[in-house]
Amino acid sequence: MEETAGERCEPEIAQEKVEVLEKKNEETVELPSSNDSAIDHEINNLTDELGPNLNLAEHEEEIYWQTAEWKSKKHVFVLSSAGKPIYSRHGNEDDLVALFGVMQAIVSVVLDSDDELQSIHTSNTHFTFLRKGNIYLVSVSSIPLETAPITKLQLTYVYNQILSILTLTQLTRIFDQYNNFDLRRLLSGSERLINNLVDFTETDPAFFFNAVECLPLASSARDVVIQAITSSCQKIKNLLFAILLAGNQLVVLIRMKKYNLLPSDLHLILNLVSSSQSFRTAEGWTPICLPDFDASGYMQAHVSYLTEECQTCLLLLTIDRELFFTLSEAKQKIVEKLQKSNVFEQINESIQKPKILASEFGISRLRHFVYKNKNTNQFVYPKYEVPYLLPESQNSLLHLYSQLYQQVNSSQRPLKVIFQQLKTEAVLGWDTKGFELYLIFEPFVTKSEAINAVNKLLKCMKKEEDRLFISNSATF
């Protein structure tokens, strides 16, 4: 079924622009003709080194290349402008010096022509490049559905994770003084953070939807938590943020007036907590840079779990390095106040309760959906059901959502409404001022059925809004 802009839709979304997603040819990189031979030589080196499907086993004398991890469909590399290895998702960087040198040469050859290398596409492998000052990031993927914009966003997250550890100020100072500096000396022990973050960008839709998921909780219970935190912390100077997490879900976020946290920074905070088990047994006091808030410096994070019975993690972020004991006392006051209510029981009940299912809404032919509140950058992502129970089908669904999201949010040709019937499912995406909605249906659903489903789902979201989202922005 094809539709073009201007066709009449059903009520409630009748005035929106409707277009069908079309499969587009992948863009290729146009390289400067003056250096074509040099560039072709370096590209051939890289593609020969990696080979189809990233199979490096052709160097039979090197057993290392024959390991399963090097036959993975996705690799991420980080190197300096001098070609020094910084990070490799798989394997040991020291065994890949020649490969890092080839990648550095490719980027440098294009830079010498006053151009910027974005991506290279071969028959079954996609190379995506991102240059951030003296840091080069490269993604090599043989995943068919993965697009360059998504992989570039993944590389941006990896770069932000490095900034979170070092800050932009320190990174700039290092390379201004020592162009050949081995950055691994400062990142030693942080590999798990980057590894965990890369996994997050491949498995969690919060990444490309630029959103966070909230723990479903009655607004009255959430208000009790907010009151306990604000009353315990309101007299503490230089406390910028208080964040309570339950796993990868946000319970509350309280901020100093005039300051805000973007989802990308919250994702780094979630990654910090999920990557370290030590916070579960002892209070932590760790520096963290949040690049989209302030890339130039650190905040200090007091990190602790409230109680053994209620596994929620509290982060108190400050610019004062001397506040550890003050924040530790505040945390104890918060726990005491919450223990006097039954909030811990309500939080535990919500944590243990399975995530919502699309089937719970009783909408015919609806398989899955995503609802994003654009005012708060919070979203709802139901638990997977048939036919998305296997990892392969879940990955395909994530890629489908990412393509829909890119179409709706394209800077060149944004679409307000998208409806498309595919081989295995039908999809609808709708962008408004206040929300974005993406729905996955059985393949033969009609446009009118899809629109009726939209209207029914919106009524359900409105009814559950106070429980599923944090509507009010709490401040100290």
Residue 204 φ/ψ, nearest 5 degrees: -115, 120
User: How confident is the model at residue 9, as a pLDDT?
Assistant: 40
67 in a domain, yes or no? yes
We report the CATH number of the domain holding residue 435 as: 3.30.450
User: How confident is the model at residue 30, as a pLDDT?
Assistant: 39
49 and 188 assigned to the same domain: yes
225 and 185 assigned to the same domain: no
> What is the span of the domain harbouring residue 131?
33-203
User: How confident is the model at residue 143, as a pLDDT?
Assistant: 86
Cα 39 to Cα 2, 103, 338, distances in angstroms? 42, 11, 63
281 and 374 assigned to the same domain: no
245 and 132 assigned to the same domain: no
User: How confident is the model at residue 473, as a pLDDT?
Assistant: 86
pTM, to two decimals = 0.86
We report the CATH number of the domain holding residue 45 as: 3.30.450.70
Where among 203, 234, 249 does a domain terminate? 203
Count of other CB atoms within 10 angstroms of residue 121: 15
Give me the sheet containing 126-132, strands edge to edge.
85-88, 74-80, 135-141, 126-132, 119-121
Cα 185 to Cα 70, 173, 295, 379, distances in angstroms? 24, 15, 21, 38
Among 252, 290, 258, 285, residue whose Cα is nearest residue 271? 290
Where among 353, 380, 409 does a domain terminate? 353
Q: Angle formed by the axes of helices 148-166 and 391-408, to 10°?
A: 90
173 and 57 assigned to the same domain: yes
28 in a domain, yes or no? no
Count of other CB atoms within 10 angstroms of residue 253: 23
191 and 128 assigned to the same domain: yes
DSSP 314-361: EEEEES-TT-HHHHHHHHHHHHHHHHTTTHHHHHHHHHHSPPP-GGGG
User: How confident is the model at residue 41, as a pLDDT?
Assistant: 60
Q: Is the separation of the CB atoms in 163 and 190 below 8 Å?
A: no
Pull the structure tokens for residue 114: 């006053």
74 and 118 assigned to the same domain: yes
Among 227, 252, 247, residue whose Cα is nearest residue 316? 252
The alpha carbon of 282 is separated from its chain's Cα centroid by a whole number of angstroms, namely: 28
Count of other CB atoms within 10 angstroms of residue 114: 7
For 281, counting Cβ atoms within 10 Å of its Cβ (0-12 exposed, 13-18 middle, 19+ buried), the class is: exposed
Where among 203, 234, 268 does a domain terminate? 203
402 in a domain, yes or no? yes
Among 398, 378, 380, 382, residue whose Cα is nearest residue 212? 378
Pull the structure tokens for residue 100: 């890092």
We report the CATH number of the domain holding residue 254 as: 3.30.450.30
Q: How far apart are CA 296 and CA 341, in angstroms?
A: 41
User: How confident is the model at residue 31, as a pLDDT?
Assistant: 39
Pull the structure tokens for residue 419: 């409806």
Q: Which amino acid is at 400?
A: L
pLDDT means per 10 residues, the chain with 476 residues, are 38 38 36 49 57 44 59 88 93 83 90 89 90 96 86 97 97 94 93 95 94 97 97 95 97 95 98 93 96 97 94 97 98 96 94 94 96 96 97 94 89 84 95 95 95 96 95 88
318 in a domain, yes or no? yes
275 and 363 assigned to the same domain: no
Q: Is the separation of the CB atoms in 74 and 89 below 8 Å?
A: yes
Q: How far apart are CA 171 and CA 178, in angstroms?
A: 11
42 and 191 assigned to the same domain: yes
Residue written as tokens 């599923």? 468
Among 110, 69, 115, 114, residue whose Cα is nearest residue 92? 69
425 in a domain, yes or no? yes
300 and 446 assigned to the same domain: no
Split into its structural domains, the chain has a count of: 3
Pull the structure tokens for residue 298: 């650190």
Assign 241 to helix, strand or coil. strand
265 and 366 assigned to the same domain: no
301 and 318 assigned to the same domain: yes
